[in-house]
Structures are given as structure tokens and as C-alpha cells.
Chains A and B, each alone.
Chain A
């Protein structure tokens, strides 16, 4: 299993560069525009009726999958385009990468309310909410895909690049024979990660309700929420089973076959063991239908594209043109102007908020940060020993791993209604539920990374530790923890991002007509949305984004660098 790596810090020297500030300004202006639109959002939104009959489940599952698919297609197209531009640009390091880096650390759910409000303001309600959901999933899927594609493009081995140039592989040929194959494994793994992450946000947006505005969408998320609200455990079970079945099915019928197929794109020049196998791929490979599809449709299409590309790139290589320069200057000018103007407006809007309003924001931020820290700590507490146990014992791994994978595949947000249902009557119930939700969302990242880290400990070192007669505690201190450290940091970075996200849905719940909330930044965002207090919504959303970006830059990135430099086992 590969290390799960959503987060790939770029390597600027300063923690927060000028580029980052620009991106943050850009995001702020965007959110400001959303908030302005929100003024016109309808005050009352009638939600869909959700049928709890198990017979309705296939339809809901289909709807959810289509939303995911739409977002994924959007993400992939964006990634291919953006990655290409970034890889070709001289400004990649100063413009394209900081943008991605900030965007990937922005807590996505924090702008769910803004997105929903803004889109329903000028679109028919249902369309607006659908688009908001797709947009949200897109923002969760796109960045790591883009990073994967960009990384692949710039790490294509120099000799293969030169060989392509000398043998005149250009445009489609280069894409088809060099870049896509080289990136394939990376792209597929990251697509799987994107889908796994996407479910989390799909569930959250399908069940999103604020006060009198019911933004729910017919799908698995709203089904689960409705079932929990009505206390219908049977429906709840049906819903969860359907969700898990859907995820397992996609894994078996789509991702595994793709991975098995992608084995051929491994760059290493030695025959490797432990190939991914897939029964479905074997089945397909032998089937008549598949062969026919290749011969009749895909093969000729490929040939067509080849000759089109050849005709287009015939003749000597074109020298790079410079005429685009004035155009891009103009574009930069217009964008810069809009940014400055928007920034001024956004600042004015922000200052319309009384100074006293910042006190609860600060308190809320502190409370949420504490919850995130607690959730991470609890996750680490159980995942590190279990991860080591699994990683060091292949036999334990063979049965624990599948169980863990199934458990991890359930998006935390799908379980949330269940958690709330169970805990709501306890004192401090929502507080507890919020930490638990963060925990369910974040623990798997740490666990999987701990397992991968434990597996990567070289056998020689394990033998040496035994030969030296190190006590169990010494082994932990001298071998296991340092060896795991880089993996744990990688896991914790993603986990912390997930936990911040969860706060939006966890701290403020409209449940069966009742509104439950606890102190927290997420609660303030949701509350401001409900009350139509848009300056507060804007301020709180910005605060959360800034906090998370700053934590990423000043804490996680530093740890990551220490991990890379000192604890990497070569």
C-alpha cells in the first residue's frame, strides 16, 4: 500500500511568501463575492422528501455516484489542463504552485455555506444546490490530482524526454506514449484518494441544512440523515450497507482493474513482486467484448488522433512565440485591478463587523483547535501501536487490513447522524460527537501511514535491534518511532485538514427541527449562515482559512522538513 499523501508541501524558503498572500487575497475576494451574492439567497428552502424505503436506495446510490462522477470529470480535466500549464511555465514555482498549495490546505467545508447560498441566489434552488455539491467535491478532488500530474510531468526522466524529442514525439504522441503512461500509476492512486475524500464532502453536502433552509439533495447522505432523525435503525443499516457495497463495488470493478492494468507503466526496470491483481481485469482481458471494443472503437480512435497530431505538428519545430506577451500583460492587469478593487470592498465589508464580534470568533477558533488537537491525539494513541503491529506482522496484516480498509472506506460524515443520534442525550453530547466525528474522519490517514511506515523498516535494522538485545521500550525509542516519524507527519497533515473540515458539520446540527450547537468556529459559520449575518459569516470563514493555512505552514511544513531531512530511511 502506498503512503497516503494528499499533502505535498512545495519548498519555498519562507513560510508565507508574497505569492501565498496573493492567493489568500484571491480566495478572500472570491468568498466575498459569494457572500455578496448570498444576500439575495432565498430565506426559505423546501428540501426534497426522502423516502426511507430500501427500494429507493438504488436510485439514491445512483444519484450520489453521478454527482461524484461529474465532480471527478471536472477535477480531472482541470488537473490535466492546469498541470500542463504549470509544468510548461517558468512561473510554476512562484505562481502556479503556491495557488495549489494554499487551495489544498483551505478547509473545504468552510465555504460550503457560502457556495450554497451564492449559487441558490441566482440559480433555481435545486440546480444551485446540485452545483454547490459538485463544486464542493471538485474542490476536494482536484488539488491532489493536479499535484500528481504536475509532479509526474516535471519528473519525467530527462533521458526519456530527450529520446521523445529526438524521435519527434510531439503533442498527442508525447502525451500518449510518454506523459500519460509515466503519470498513470500516480494518477490512478490519486484518483482513488480523491474519490475516498469526495464521499466525505458528498455526504456533508447532501445532508446540509441550516435553520429554515433545507439544502438537502436526494442521495445516500440525506437518506442516512433522515433515517437517523426518524430513529429508523433498519433504514440506517440499509443505507450504510448500500454505501459500503457501492464503495467496495467501485473498488473491485473500477480501481483494482485499473491498477492491475497500470502495472505495465511501472518505471522500474526489474520484474517486481507483489503485483496488484484483479479478478475483474482478468475476466475483461479474456472477454470477446473487450477485444472488440479495442479493435473497433478505441484502436481506430487512437490511430485517428495519431495522424491528426502528425499533420498538426508536421514540418520543422516552431520556435516559441512572443506575441502572447502583451495579451498576458493585459490579463494580469485586469486581474490585478479586480483583485485590488475586490480586496478593498472585502476589507470594508469585513470592518462593518463590530470589533466585539471578533471575541467569539477567537474563542470559537480556540475551541475548535482544541478539539482538532484532541482528535489527533486520540487517533495517534491507538493507531500507532496497531499500525506497528500490523506492519511488523504480515500474518496479522492479512486479516486486519481488509477489515480496516472497509471501515476506513465509510466516509465519516455518513456516520455522523448515527453519532448524533446516539450521543445527543448525554451531557455535552454534541461536544463529544464533534470530537468523535473528527476522530472517525482522521484516524485512518494516520493508521495507514503507520502501517506503511512499519512495513518500510528494513529487515536488517529489525535484526540489529534484536541482536543488540534492545528492550521493547528502547526499540520504540531508537527504531520504531524515528522510522515512523515521516509517515506519521504525512498522515497527521491530512488528518488535521480533515478534522478542521469536520468542525463545520459537527459543531452545529439541525436535527429533527431542533438546533444543537457547541462553542466553535464551525458553529459560528453555520449560525451566521442561518441568521443571515453575512459579515460574521465572511469573517469566520476567512478566520478558519487563515488559521489552517498558517498551521500548515508553520507547524506541519516544519515537521515535514525535519522528517524528510533527518528521519528518512534511505
Chain B
């Protein structure tokens, strides 16, 4: 078999925090061949951006191999470039200089530099803007500069790190079309494209092959070939079927309660990280579901109806699943009787329902037991965070603490004084168990 353009073998990225190790990526295998447009798709925190940085040599994996044309990669891959989510243009250089600087770093002579930069700007439709500074351009135009800079050095491997997610909907659509035109029309010497995104429709629209990733630990869990010929029509049945399929893969199936809830800190078994979702968003989604006939809807339809991006939608659904307000199966989300009650309840009743549900979540049960045992029902937030750090990486532990405080405050399970960093029981809680 011919060697791959890019190959990752058993790549792992480990973060150490104290005694514990956390896998940002675990044993990832990936191969990319010439002529392919491959998309890495997954929820935030699944390590897909890290994987892209490892693939280009910006970051070195803790273990595993990165091969480019069969050769182990050392340092940054000179044959690869990246288009960044935040454009990463030098604000103090003009559009032309931004593109030229990439050539200058490769030792291209000044006249040649100018010629090639102008030609590339012309090709992406930026002629007339050569002397403008990035701040004078709209987001879409800025990203065009990003593309021009990445393509002017004629990379074999073009990496795209969520390049459209910071753009408004219309600019993103236009830019996707133009990228496809350049790529499919063979107008750029690029051999392969590797894109990271959390937008499911975008992945199906552009990719030949989708690699679905999961988090904790970050890994590739599925691979889907998109055989729909270009130009793909987002409204066509085969396109929608594929989107539905990807949603189903990413949303998973609702598991029996003990599995969904996981275990408490300090107990054996997997502890479930709480999705970082505000209570208001959950309520909003439940209301929307309650308004649909049968309280059941396809996830992809819900996303387009509510105008939320797929990543956010999946996170809210995950939270609702955890609380027992919805169930998910085959890409459909359905309201449970409890979810229906919540959607119809008034402000105070909602709080009560919410409180009764989060009491069942092991992490809250654990915290309440700690608080009850603590003197005066008070506990330093720092103590709780330290305990969480035994389960999660420090940044994640802080985030988890934030979610716990947020949900707990809403449910009035406990109060938290930010200034003194103290959690305390507001009232004597009902006897648990």
C-alpha cells in the first residue's frame, strides 16, 4: 500500500496535575491521503484542536508517532499551514503584508513575494484591499486574508481550525462555497485538507470523510464517508439523512439512570462531568420541545428551528438527559413526563423540581453530605475545588465548581458567598435517603 500523506499512530496527549494524569487524547490513529478532505467533528473539549496542532507539528504529543509521507515529523511541518478560527492576522500589517510575510519567512525574494501575494489576493477576491489593515475589514474578508496567507505558500496539507465559526451565517456560507470552488476546481496545489469543526452541517457539506470524536478521554469513535456528490444541497433528503445520522452518533442514546449519573467523587467508577449549561437555556429548550406535537423532535431540525449551533444544542440536551427531563434515541430527543411538568410549571415549582432532580446527581449528593457534616453547614469553596481536582484537570475542576454553584444556587440547595469563598446550607435540607 502506498504511504499516506499524513499518518498519526497511537497519539496520546497527557496532562499531569499533581498525581493524576488526564488524557486530552488517547491512542488516536488517523490517516490522510492525497485528494482527501477530512473533517474532525466533536464536542468542545474532545481535543480536536489539539489533534490539529499535533498533526502540523506545532505541538508534540506525549506519546505516539506523527508521520508525514512516511517520515517522522520533527518540529513544525513546512508543508502544512493553518487557517485559524480567530484569523490570527497581524493587525499592524496591511492585507498585502500579511500575505507577504508568510513568503518572506520562506526566503522568497521581495519582487517575487509581491507578485505571488497579489496574485493570491486576486484569486480569493481581495483585489482592491491590498493596502487595507485587517481592522478595516469585515470578519468574512479577514478570513479571506487568512485563507490567502495559508494558500500562498502552496502547502500540501491545508489545515482549517474552525475557520467559519467566528463568522456570521451568510459570510460563512459564502466562504465555504469559495473554498470548495478552489479545492474542487484544482485551483490550488493543496493535496489534502484537514478541518476541525463542531458544526455538523458544515462537516457534511464539505468533508469526504468525517471522523467523529468523543471526550474524556479525547478519541475517535466513528468514521463516516460522505458519498454525496458536490454540489451538496442542505435541503436534499440524502443530506438531511446524513446530518441526522451524525447527530445520532454524537448525541448517543440515553442510558439507564445509574450509568447516566455516574459515581460520586471518592467512589469507584466514572464520575460524570456536568455540562456547562445555564439553567435558563435548559428551560428554553424544554419549552420549545413542549410546543412541538408529541414532545419529540429530530435534533437537527431542532437546531435549525432554534438557530443554535449543534455543539451548544448537544450540550443542553446532555444536561437535560442527566436530569431526566428528556431521553435521546436515534438522533431524536423526546420529553419525559418530568420534563413536561417542568416546562409547564411556574417559577417556584420549577425550582423545586430542579432541586429534587439534582439531589440525585452523585456530585451534588456528595457535596450536600459534606456540607451537612461540616461545622455550621459551611464549607470553603476552595476545599470543594481541591476535592474536584482529584477527579478533573484544574481548569475543568474550576468549571465544574462554577456549574455546581450555578445549579445549586438556582435550586436553592445551598448558597455561595463569592467574597469569602464559602458555601453554606440555606435551610436544613430534607433528610436525604
Query: What are the residues of chain B within 8 A of A160 when measuring CB–CB?
Result: 88, 90
Q: What is the chain B residue whose CB lies nearest that of A309?
A: B105
If A177-B93, A269-B91 touch, whether A166 touches B104 (CB-CB below 8 Å) is no
Task: Select which of B82, B91, B104, B105 is within 8 A of A267 by beta carbon.
Answer: B91
If A264-B133, A271-B136, A310-B107 touch, whether A167 touches B91 (CB-CB below 8 Å) is no
Q: Is the CB of A181 within 8 A of B92?
A: yes
* CA A307 to CA B113, docked complex, whole Å: 14
Q: Is the CB of B58 within 8 A of A162?
A: yes
Q: What is the chain A residue whose CB lies nearest that of B103?
A: A167
Contact residues of A between 208 and 259, Cβ < 8 Å to B: none
* CA A181 to CA B92, docked complex, whole Å: 7
Select the residue from A162, A178, A310 with max chain B CB neighbours within 10 A: A162
Q: Is the CB of A162 within 8 A of B88?
A: yes
Interface mask (B114-142 → A, CB under 8 Å = 1, otherwise 0): 00000000000000000001111000001
Interface size class of A (residues with CB under 8 A): 20 to 34
Least CB distance, A428 to chain B, in whole angstroms = 45
If A319-B74, A566-B419 touch, whether A166 touches B90 (CB-CB below 8 Å) is no
Say if the beta carbon of B53 comes within 8 Å of chain A. yes
Say if the beta carbon of A327 comes within 8 Å of chain B. no
Q: Is the CB of B419 within 8 A of A168?
A: no
If A162-B84, A169-B101 touch, whether A181 touches B53 (CB-CB below 8 Å) is no
If A177-B90, A265-B92 touch, whether A167 touches B135 (CB-CB below 8 Å) is no
Contact residues of B between 69 and 84, Cβ < 8 Å to A: 74-76, 78, 80-82, 84
Query: What are the residues of chain A within 8 A of B149 when measuring CB–CB?
Result: 167
Select the residue from B80, B88, B110 with max chain A CB neighbours within 10 A: B88
Say if the beta carbon of A173 comes within 8 Å of chain B. yes
Query: What are the residues of chain A within 8 A of B323 when measuring CB–CB?
Result: none
Say if the beta carbon of B153 comes within 8 Å of chain A. yes
Query: What are the residues of chain B within 8 A of A306 when measuring CB–CB?
Result: 104
Contact residues of A between 58 and 87, Cβ < 8 Å to B: none
**How many interface contacts (CB-CB < 8 Å) are there between A and B?**
80
If A159-B84, A159-B86, A162-B88 touch, whether A317 touches B75 (CB-CB below 8 Å) is yes
Least CB distance, B107 to chain A, in whole angstroms = 5
Say if the beta carbon of B273 comes within 8 Å of chain A. no
Least CB distance, B112 to chain A, in whole angstroms = 14
Q: Is the CB of B135 within 8 A of A268?
A: yes
Contact residues of A between 284 and 328, Cβ < 8 Å to B: 303, 306-307, 310, 314, 316-319
Interface mask (B241-260 → A, CB under 8 Å = 1, otherwise 0): 00000000000000000000
Query: What are the residues of chain A within 8 A of B106 when measuring CB–CB?
Result: 168
Say if the beta carbon of B102 comes within 8 Å of chain A. yes
Task: Select which of A168, A178, A270, A310 is within 8 A of B76 by beta carbon.
Answer: A168
Say if the beta carbon of A165 comes within 8 Å of chain B. yes
Least CB distance, B161 to chain A, in whole angstroms = 9
Query: What are the residues of chain B within 8 A of A270 when measuring CB–CB?
Result: 135
Select the residue from B81, B91, B106 with max chain A CB neighbours within 10 A: B91
Say if the beta carbon of B12 comes within 8 Å of chain A. no
Q: Is the CB of B78 within 8 A of A167?
A: no
Q: Is the CB of B134 within 8 A of A159?
A: no
Q: Is the CB of A166 within 8 A of B81?
A: yes
Say if the beta carbon of B400 comes within 8 Å of chain A. no
Query: What are the residues of chain B within 8 A of A266 when measuring CB–CB?
Result: 91
Say if the beta carbon of A555 comes within 8 Å of chain B. no
Q: Is the CB of B134 within 8 A of A178?
A: no
Q: Is the CB of B84 within 8 A of A269?
A: no
Contact residues of B between 188 and 212, Cβ < 8 Å to A: none
Q: Is the CB of A167 within 8 A of B75?
A: no
Q: Is the CB of A271 within 8 A of B135?
A: yes
Q: Is the CB of B135 within 8 A of A269?
A: yes
* CA A317 to CA B56, docked complex, whole Å: 13
Say if the beta carbon of A163 comes within 8 Å of chain B. yes
Query: What are the residues of chain B within 8 A of A314 when measuring CB–CB?
Result: 107
Q: Is the CB of A269 within 8 A of B134?
A: yes
Query: What are the residues of chain A within 8 A of B142 when measuring CB–CB?
Result: 269
Q: Is the CB of A177 within 8 A of B101?
A: yes
Select the residue from A165, A166, A271 with max chain B CB neighbours within 10 A: A166
Q: Is the CB of A163 within 8 A of B88?
A: yes
Q: Is the CB of B81 within 8 A of A167?
A: yes
Q: Is the CB of B419 within 8 A of A167?
A: no
Q: Is the CB of A168 within 8 A of B91?
A: no
* CA A303 to CA B86, docked complex, whole Å: 30
Q: Is the CB of A316 within 8 A of B92?
A: no
* CA A519 to CA B88, docked complex, whole Å: 60
Q: Is the CB of B90 within 8 A of A167?
A: no
Contact residues of A between 124 and 167, Cβ < 8 Å to B: 157, 159-160, 162-163, 165-167
Q: What is the chain B residue whose CB lies nearest that of A266?
A: B91
Contact residues of A between 531 and 570, Cβ < 8 Å to B: 566
Q: Is the CB of A162 within 8 A of B53?
A: yes
Q: Is the CB of A181 within 8 A of B105?
A: no
Query: What are the residues of chain A within 8 A of B419 when measuring CB–CB?
Result: 566
Query: What are the residues of chain A within 8 A of B89 when measuring CB–CB?
Result: 163
* CA A316 to CA B85, docked complex, whole Å: 27
Q: Is the CB of B107 within 8 A of A166?
A: no
Q: What is the chain B residue whose CB lies nearest that of A314?
A: B107
Least CB distance, A178 to chain B, in whole angstroms = 7
Query: What are the residues of chain A within 8 A of B133 when measuring CB–CB?
Result: 264
Interface mask (A268-289 → B, CB under 8 Å = 1, otherwise 0): 1111000000000000000000
If A177-B90, A267-B91 touch, whether A162 touches B105 (CB-CB below 8 Å) is no
* CA A364 to CA B21, docked complex, whole Å: 56
Query: What are the residues of chain B within 8 A of A170 when measuring CB–CB?
Result: 105
* CA A440 to CA B76, docked complex, whole Å: 55
Select the residue from A167, A265, A271, A566 with max chain B CB neighbours within 10 A: A167
* CA A157 to CA B88, docked complex, whole Å: 9
Q: Is the CB of A166 within 8 A of B136?
A: no
Q: Is the CB of B102 within 8 A of A167?
A: yes
Least CB distance, A566 to chain B, in whole angstroms = 7
Select the residue from A177, A181, A317 with max chain B CB neighbours within 10 A: A177
Q: Is the CB of A163 within 8 A of B110?
A: no
Least CB distance, A276 to chain B, in whole angstroms = 15
Interface mask (A163-189 → B, CB under 8 Å = 1, otherwise 0): 101111110010001100100000000
Q: Is the CB of A317 within 8 A of B92?
A: no
Q: What is the chain A residue whose CB lies nearest that of B74?
A: A316
Query: What are the residues of chain A within 8 A of B93 when measuring CB–CB?
Result: 177
10 A-B pairs whose Cβ atoms sit less than 8 Å apart in the complex: A159-B86, A162-B53, A163-B84, A166-B58, A170-B105, A173-B101, A181-B90, A269-B135, A306-B104, A316-B75
Given contacts A159-B85, A169-B105, A266-B91, 13 further A-B contacts (CB under 8 A): A157-B86, A157-B88, A159-B88, A163-B89, A166-B56, A168-B78, A169-B101, A173-B104, A173-B105, A181-B90, A264-B92, A265-B92, A317-B74
Binding site for B on A (CB under 8 A): 157, 159-160, 162-163, 165-170, 173, 177-178, 181, 264-271, 303, 306-307, 310, 314, 316-319, 566
Closest 5 CB pairs of A and B: A317-B75, A163-B88, A159-B88, A167-B102, A181-B92
